[in-house]
Structure 1
Amino acid sequence: MIFRSVSSFLLSALSVSALSADEWKKQSVYQVMTDRFARTDGSTTASCDLSTYCGGTWQGLINKLDYIQGMGFTAIWISPVVHQISAPGNVDGDSYHGYWAKDFNSLNSNFGTSEDLLRLSTALHSRGMVWKPVLMFGLFTNHMAYPGCRKCVDYSTLTPFNSASYFHSPCSIDYSNTTSVQQCWQGDDNVSLPDLRTENQNVRDFFDPWIAQLVTTYKIDGLRIDSAKHQETSFWPTFGGNATVYMVGEVYEGNPDEFLPFLDVFPGLLNYPVWYWLQRAFQSTSATMTELNTGLANMRSKTTKTVYLGSFSENHDQPRMPAWSSQSSDTALIKNAIAFVMLMDGIPIIYQGQEQKLSGANVPANREAIWLTGYNTQSELYQWVAQINKLRNAIIGINSAYTSSQAMSWTPDRHTIALQKGPSGYSTQPNNCYISAEKRLTPVKQGTSSGTTTACPIPTSVAVTFTEKVTTSYGQTIKIVGNIDALGNWDINRAVTLSASQYSSSNPIWTITINLLAGDSIQYKFINVASSGTVAWEADPNHSYTVPSSCGTTTAAVSNTWQS
């Protein structure tokens, strides 16, 4: 059982108090995919079939806490812990990632026992780190899982929701309709993800005490909530009140106007808008910082809560940076992207393997076994992450208000972005840096910025969401390439990768949100890139589009179907 009895010794050893959102701001997070981080036997040679379980455990993680602490991290985010479906040989792979729940009342025995999980919490909390060490659980309440088609789910196999009455009827998601997003099913007919009726009081009556007990039993300090926008927002205040810990929601959305309202119900969010801009800014040494700078200013003008967002450049759902383009494997470029993520507004998150320059592109290639790197603490990026964490921690130690100050950004030239972060009115200088796509990271002492606004400003950029409807096979990726820098200037090595997060067999769509200059006239095409690297272009003619430039327009959408 997930809440089995534990000794009074363990409970007393785990006596910790929850951190507030303000206390979380100074943390630096290392994201662990439990199955791929460390084995109990300590092997650094055990093979790993990326489609199934590879043997990573909670005990293995305990054994490698020194490796994480050596980089200066003070928080660890682990995979969801609940019991999973078994789907070996499935086209979509097995449940090693932890997001395909079968039983919310039991733990995933592939990762270890309840005692192992308690020992992990104890071991982490007892460490002498720069700040109070904290543990974050990956978690979801939106769905369960079944290794088969949507219409053939055997609900009796699911616990505790063992009846179809607990779930919405199967339907494909229409991402332009909020109700559809919240009530239709993710997944596909290989592994279906029955969507829970979380608006139903019977469902809430399970989750509210469940999360309170989970947090108390394992002394969890924070929660990363998967698929946060796929539930009605009224679910989260009571759930969060029972959790009593910091929650960061995954809202997979590049448009700040659609993204930021979720901060009304979550203490923090994963900063996907900045991730999109950052990916394009750092994909090559010739890329420009204009879109990133404009986007940061746009976010800053709309909210003061950017300091609570989780900043990242890689995670288990997205291609690793070396796979972004033909130039993005440049180590200096990667170091600058990491520095930007760790020094910008918010709570920095580094995904396991970034420090070893792992290069996997799409799922499951981006979920490599870390033990095969030998946990090299002398690698250039391991040492770089450690240095940036040390710098950030030192700044916070000197002036704790650093974490509450929103960074000001500007572009000294089109390839360089400058950050000034520090409260005004203090006798100490603000903490600034230049971060460049041209392989420069240059500290500076001062920087200023100013600006004005009007009641209805003409936008300088517009967040354009491109949707391409095309059926693809496992391992294929859809990209967009066009005649402007943001679309790669027709260079397929700089093409922008679309996301398949909304893809289903009944609605095969790929999407991407890109900030484009208002008024620009663009031409573009979509390409299909196979796992072998073979590129297939859609047929002529080029798509044409003019970015809106009307007063107050900050978002737009374009839908296309693959031209054969």
Structure 2
Amino acid sequence: MTARLATYSPFHHIVVFCRFLVCLLSVSALSACQSDKASTSQLASPDWGEQKVYFVLLDRFNDGESSNNDFGQGEYSPTQESHFNGGDIQGLIDKLDYIQGMGFTAVWVSPPVLNQWWSPKAEYGGYHGYWAKNFKQIDPHFGNLDDYKALAKALHSRGMYLIQDIVVNHTGIFFSYKGNEFNPNSPLTNFYLSAPKEDTYDAPTQSPFDQINLLNPSHEKAAIYHWTPELENFDSVEQQYTYQLGGLADLNTSNEAVLAALKESYKYWIEEVGVDAFRIDTVKYVEHDFWHRFLHDEDGIYPFAESLGKKHFLTFGEVFQFSEPLQNDGEKAIAEYLGTGEKPELNAVINFPLYKDISRVFAQGIATEELAYRLQQHMEVFPHPRFTPTFIDNHDTPRFLAGGSQDAMLQSLALLYTTPGIPVVYQGTEQALLETRQSMFAGGFASQQSHFNTHSSFYMHIQKLAAIREQQSAFTEGKLRILKSQSFGPGVLAYQLTSVHEHSDKSESALVLMNTAEHTVVTGNMSTSFGANNQLNTLFAHKVEPTQSIVTNNNGDLQLVLAARAIMILESGQTFSTTSHGEPSKQTLAPFSVNGLENIAGLTFTDDTGIQGSSNRPNAQLAFILDGMWDERITVNTDENGNWDYTLQIKDLGRMTKTLMIYDTASQALSETATFTAVQNRATQEVRVSDPQNDDVGPTGTYQNLQHTQSGKQRDMLELQARTGGANLQITVKMKEVSEVWAPAFGFDNVSFSLFLHVPELAKKNASATSVLPMMNASMPEGFDANTWHIGHVAFGWGNYLFDASTANSARRGQNVGSAPAIHVNHDENTVTFTYSGKAMGISDWSNTSIYISTWDIAGEGHYRKISKEGGLWEFGGGDSTSPKVLDDAFLQLHN
């Protein structure tokens, strides 16, 4: 920070700040500051289903004009995540070649409007743009109106589009209630202005939003705001629409003056700048009637945009809500904000349920069936799925790579680009960034160097995927059919898309296959629509032999062996007259037939069980493939009558869905798949330890908890239990309190768990080990039976990361492991249970494993909360920036 600030003199601060004050004093002065009388060109609306969107967080993208970085108010500190870093509109203009080079056709920018620069209450700044003070003015940190017009013109001249992020739910953090104690019959009680500024108070500068002070009778009468405390009950519709989200002043959007001012504010940007679409923040916290009127009234956004030639002005809303596994409750809930035919609202919503399961399947290794189901709901629940934005991470979520591997992220991107919807990629994904709000430019937060490498692997992958999406219409408008998925964990996900061209009988079809597992799998038979003996063309391949020929059989079916993390994107090719796989010699064998598997289909087994059957292959070798694991297939010899015997082994702790197939090595044919359930409740090892109550005070005994109103005893552990069976390990933590007030994806919030395991089996294999606890200012504490760890696991409400020690250091976690533990929360018993699959980590025996577990809190974006001497709402107290980020901790030791 000092190096960059040193380039500015005190005189510079005075001149720049005075210039800014002059701009705020009068409308005429503002016009002088931001004068551009020339009209801005308007582009007609595109087919949004054909677009590819790059999302830019302005302050963290590129610093194009250093003179607007610092206005001397303590708001600028480029190395801190909480402050302005220096990115601006000119920096974005300077990098349009970089963005367009990846194939993007539209740029979504975070709100560029004047923001609250610093909130003493939150101890955080409004660099992100979502704490508005004036909805009709550019924040001087980002530039001025001329710069914004120049951006729109630069994009339009390239045939690209500008999407502006907007907020209508709230302004900044300007008032609050002491202790969050609120009496609806007496709103003045406990009310205070939370952003004092010398002898006055901080407030919006735009009328009527400047009427922020309930202590002023005229402000109270105007009722521009809901005079309410922070939202605590997310199940309450009243609180959802009228209470403050995170302490942000909640606008009274049912007030006609507020509605009119917001309409006028956002029509301004369409007319004055030529904005082509809006992304709308915090949609679910505003009542439905507002959305209908804001957008559809005669003086609303849609009619106004249409008058300027934008007949499909896209508005895609953020409705942060997920679905339960194999349920579509989340999709239905967010689709409500599309309105009805009689009372329409937005014309698109962001698909958050799909985002969640993209991460859970590709990064955490849950069953591919769940993502298959989610894709089907994407196509069925939303009236226009091709206009529904899809994404893998953004500025409010942990980076995908915080918990997923690079192979997993490539699979996620491949899914975005090969399914109907508008793919949205957050800045830095193409450079494999790990921090959510990391700056792209050198000197900004978490960046010692710039991140604009046009030869990085992901930059080029995105280029290729964008080109494929443009050449194959099925990816943008096709009907989607799931060909294969599995209900028991990582493995095959296969889907086919087919589009029929309007006014013709011509159709286009493409096939997408992925293996989400870290081991080779066999797909089983997949019934395609490509027809018989079709040698498919490869559009994109990853972890696939370049010479591999993909040919359907006589029935148009396809079966493949896919390497770990393989991706194949195929389209119809040349049809041959030869038989399956182009190998006529196989015609000499009778078609493979087998029976016996039907006797286990749908059944549940709790013990090892022998099964028998027969085939038409006497004295032959058959391969039994459990859970599609090709490399672990077991060879069984048939007798002279083709009979076979096989034993199902039921060892792994827990309840699991499993599959079994039989492969004929002579004809390379597969049987049908039998699905069954394995249940093993008997633990081979079990250990339980107690942990003292109220010892969540850190290693020095002096730490203080977070001070926000939702912070309680969620970080105080009372008991730990570890159980093993087969290759599985279960760890259950009983807490003093388990809460979910912020509607977390994993069922618990206000706590993070950091677990580190020393596994003797891995030690024998010379696996990487370290004593450093990444990102925690700590190492393995004294008293731990083993002072190093092999496997690390971090879990919080919105993240579930499993990693090894191979590349771990104090600043970063190790290499991500592809199958994160399953998480189960029991709110009645205040327990959180983690179930680890040893097979995913090459572990068959957990004997003598040492387990260290600690608690802290991690923000929704994925970073550990800070600690300081005084502490604060979102900072722990009783330490400093170098103190260990450990609040409560405990040990467990398994035995033989």
TM-score by length of 2: 0.48
Q: How does 1:412-561 map to 2 (within 5 A)?
A: 412=485, 415-424=491-500, 426-437=505-516, 438-445=564-571, 473=706, 509-513=741-745, 527-529=752-754, 532=776, 559=827
| Contact 2:499 2:508 (C-alpha < 8 Å) held by counterparts | no
- Which of 176, 185, 209 is residue 244 of structure 2 equivalent to? 185
Whole-Å separation in 1 of the counterparts to 2:86 and 2:316: 28
Partner of 1:423, secondary structure, is strand
| Contact 2:417 2:475 (C-alpha < 8 Å) held by counterparts | no
Deviations 1:258-281 (A, max 9, x none): 122222221111110101111100
2:439 is matched with which residue?
369
- Percent same amino acid among aligned pairs? 24
Q: How does 1:205-224 map to 2 (within 5 A)?
A: 205-224=260-279
The alpha-carbon distance between structure 1 residues 560 and 472, as it changes in their structure 2 partners (threshold 3 A), is farther
| Contact 2:113 2:135 (C-alpha < 8 Å) held by counterparts | yes
Whole-Å separation in 2 of the counterparts to 1:379 and 1:491: 39
> By how many angstroms is 1:180 displaced?
1.7
Whole-Å separation in 1 of the counterparts to 2:142 and 2:721: 45
1:275 equivalent to 2:355? Answer yes
Whole-Å separation in 2 of the counterparts to 1:514 and 1:125: 42
| Contact 1:42 1:60 (C-alpha < 8 Å) held by counterparts | no
Partner of 1:31, secondary structure, is strand
Whole-Å separation in 2 of the counterparts to 1:80 and 1:412: 40
- Which of 261, 280, 296 is residue 225 of structure 1 equivalent to? 280
The alpha-carbon distance between structure 1 residues 350 and 220, as it changes in their structure 2 partners (threshold 3 A), is same
Q: How does 1:334-349 map to 2 (within 5 A)?
A: 334-349=409-424
The alpha-carbon distance between structure 1 residues 78 and 319, as it changes in their structure 2 partners (threshold 3 A), is same
- Which of 155, 165, 171 is residue 138 of structure 1 equivalent to? 165
> By how many angstroms is 1:436 displaced?
2.8
> By how many angstroms is 1:195 displaced?
0.6
1:253 is matched with which residue?
321
Whole-Å separation in 2 of the counterparts to 1:227 and 1:482: 40
The alpha-carbon distance between structure 1 residues 306 and 6, as it changes in their structure 2 partners (threshold 3 A), is same
Q: How does 1:87-166 map to 2 (within 5 A)?
A: 87=118, 91-127=122-158, 132-146=159-173, 149-150=176-177, 151-153=191-193, 157-158=203-204, 159-160=206-207, 161=209, 162=211, 163-164=219-220, 165-166=223-224
1:381 is matched with which residue?
458
> By how many angstroms is 1:90 displaced?
6.1
TM-score by length of 1: 0.74
The alpha-carbon distance between structure 1 residues 415 and 402, as it changes in their structure 2 partners (threshold 3 A), is closer
> By how many angstroms is 1:536 displaced?
9.5
> By how many angstroms is 1:93 displaced?
1.8
Amino acid of the structure 2 residue aligned with 1:180: Q
| Contact 1:344 1:419 (C-alpha < 8 Å) held by counterparts | no
Deviations 1:130-177 (A, max 9, x none): xx3100001101101125644323788223221342111213432212
Whole-Å separation in 1 of the counterparts to 2:242 and 2:131: 17
Q: Could you say which structure has the larger radius of gyration?
A: 2
Partner of 1:350, secondary structure, is strand
Amino acid of the structure 2 residue aligned with 1:225: I
The alpha-carbon distance between structure 1 residues 177 and 379, as it changes in their structure 2 partners (threshold 3 A), is same
Whole-Å separation in 2 of the counterparts to 1:210 and 1:41: 26
Amino acid of the structure 2 residue aligned with 1:258: A
Higher helix share: 1
Whole-Å separation in 2 of the counterparts to 1:178 and 1:374: 43
Whole-Å separation in 1 of the counterparts to 2:483 and 2:777: 37
Whole-Å separation in 2 of the counterparts to 1:253 and 1:68: 30
The alpha-carbon distance between structure 1 residues 474 and 282, as it changes in their structure 2 partners (threshold 3 A), is farther
2:427 is matched with which residue?
352
Amino acid of the structure 2 residue aligned with 1:283: A
Whole-Å separation in 2 of the counterparts to 1:88 and 1:184: 19
Deviations 1:503-548 (A, max 9, x none): 9xxx972433579xxxxxxxxxx8534952988999xxxxxxxxxx
Deviations 1:259-317 (A, max 9, x none): 22222221111110101111100114x54311111222234343432222110001000
- Which of 214, 217, 226 is residue 168 of structure 1 equivalent to? 226
- Which of 338, 341, 350 is residue 263 of structure 1 equivalent to? 338
Return 302-311 or 75-84, whichever deviates more: 302-311
Q: Which runs of 5+ in 2 are unaligned?
A: 1-26, 68-76, 178-190, 196-200, 212-218, 303-312, 323-329, 340-344, 443-449, 517-563, 573-656, 658-695, 697-703, 755-773, 779-792, 797-824, 832-887, 889-896
Amino acid of the structure 2 residue aligned with 1:404: E
- Which of 399, 402, 419 is residue 320 of structure 1 equivalent to? 399
Return 169-178 or 115-124, whichever deviates more: 169-178
Return 425-434 or 32-41, whichever deviates more: 425-434
Q: Which runs of 5+ in 1 are unaligned?
A: 361-365, 447-460, 462-469, 496-502, 516-525, 539-556
Higher strand share: 2
